[in-house]
Amino acid sequence: MYYKENWHALTADMTAWWQHEMDRPLVQVVSPRADRESSCVFDWWALLRPDVSVEQVHADFIAFCENTWFGGMAFPNMFFNLGPGVLAAYSSGYLLFEPGAGTSWFENPQPWEVVNTYRLQDNEWWRFTLEGMEYLADVGKDRYIMGMTDLGGILDVLSSFRGAQDLAMDLLCAPEQVHRARARILADWHRAYDELLPIVRRHQDGMGTWMGLWCPGTWYPIQCDFAALISPAQFEEFVLPDVAAQCQRLDYSIFHLDGPGQIPHLDLLLDIEALDGIQWVPGTGNPQCEAMQWRPLYEKILARGKSLVLQCFDNVHQLAPVLEGLPRKGVFISTYANSEEEGRALLDALSK
């Protein structure tokens, strides 16, 4: 690959990691290149800015790659970002982008009689994704890896349709409605994934996603951010079956465990044999992944034979003592550095 040295070594190591055969931590570090004056900055929300074309996004990403050192398992990963849970927009047509906040919103609460009409459709957002990904896949051949867009979690999409508070009540008062909607969304999720996959893999082996891990087969970061609002019993009834179904259908999967509110569901997730690993995200305002308080969480995940992905740090240099004595098989660490010199030193220290 043009912007990544030792690409074949990366794919070999990542393949071994996914197959739980890598007995050392894998680390990816991104930093500005030492021989460039410009910083490695890319606007991941550019696709939603009305004054920016897809052609300009490609040019800007190439400039980002030119000025970036991709260390260890890092690589140029172009995923088509319209926001987390964009399947909701493909179904309802609603997407609100706030340029100042740098985020998009899909939540547009509707009554059940409207929600029940939502299906994956040929609307502006779906066409934009198909056409945009085709263009980027073609012009980015051998320069960057094309990644799957962020389709979102099944119940998260339903939360966009109903509103989080109303959906929380629906679990109690209208469970059959929820179950029927879940089935429709799950079917549309896999239909969207299957239609986008040939575009993603048109000119490349393997694929990427928003999580930034290269994978030799089909994969996705499975999630349910709504799960922080519900009990383990509700998680087992309304979330776990869809997570298990997605794990069975995909070659590989990592669950995006987002914040302390989701820790009560961890044991249920670890019981899914086909789930390959857990990405731990402590959440805003909480001690990040280098905090010693999360060590028991890491012990539990690794003891069950699952991989552990850590990508959120206040000070990644403090991570080593937290991981000391833990199994190294399955650990994946992703971070950034302010300079290539710092990045290389960090890569060496964390890979031991």
Task: Give the integer Cα–Cα distance in Å for 87 and 195.
Answer: 13
pLDDT of residue 35: 87
* Angstrom distance (rounded) from CA 290 to CA 293: 9
Task: Identify whether 2 is part of a domain.
Answer: no
- What crossing angle do the helices spanning 154-162 and 164-173 adopt, rounded to 10°? 100
How many domains does the structure of the chain reveal? 1
Q: Give the chain's radius of gyration (CA, Å).
A: 20
| Tokens encoding 352 | 């031991």
Q: Which domain holds residue 45?
A: 7-350
Nearest to 236 by CA among 273, 264, 255: 264
Residue 12, in any domain of the structure: yes
CATH assignment of the domain containing 250: 3.20.20.210
List, as own/partner pairs, every contact residues 63-66 make where C-beta atoms lie below 8 angstroms and the sequence separation is at least 24, other chains included: 63/38, 64/40, 65/2, 65/3, 65/143, 65/144, 66/3, 66/33, 66/36
pLDDT tens profile 22-74: 999 999 999 999 988 767 789 999 999 999 999 999 999 999 999 999 999 99
Is 112 among the domain residues? yes
- Decide if 1 is inside a domain: no
Cα separation, 313 vs 334, whole angstroms = 9
CA angle (320, 325, 326) in 5-degree steps: 85
With beta carbons less than 8 A apart as the criterion, state whether 143 and 1 touch: yes
Q: Report yes or no on 146 lying in a domain.
A: yes
> What's the confidence (pLDDT) of residue 41?
85
Q: What is d(CA 8, CA 22) in angstroms, rounded to the nearest whole number?
A: 16
pLDDT at position 127 is 98
d(CA 77, CA 69): 13
pTM attached to this predicted model: 0.96
What pLDDT does residue 36 have?
Answer: 82
Residues of the chain with pLDDT under 70: 38
C-beta of residue 214 within 8 angstroms of C-beta of residue 14: yes
pLDDT at 40: 74
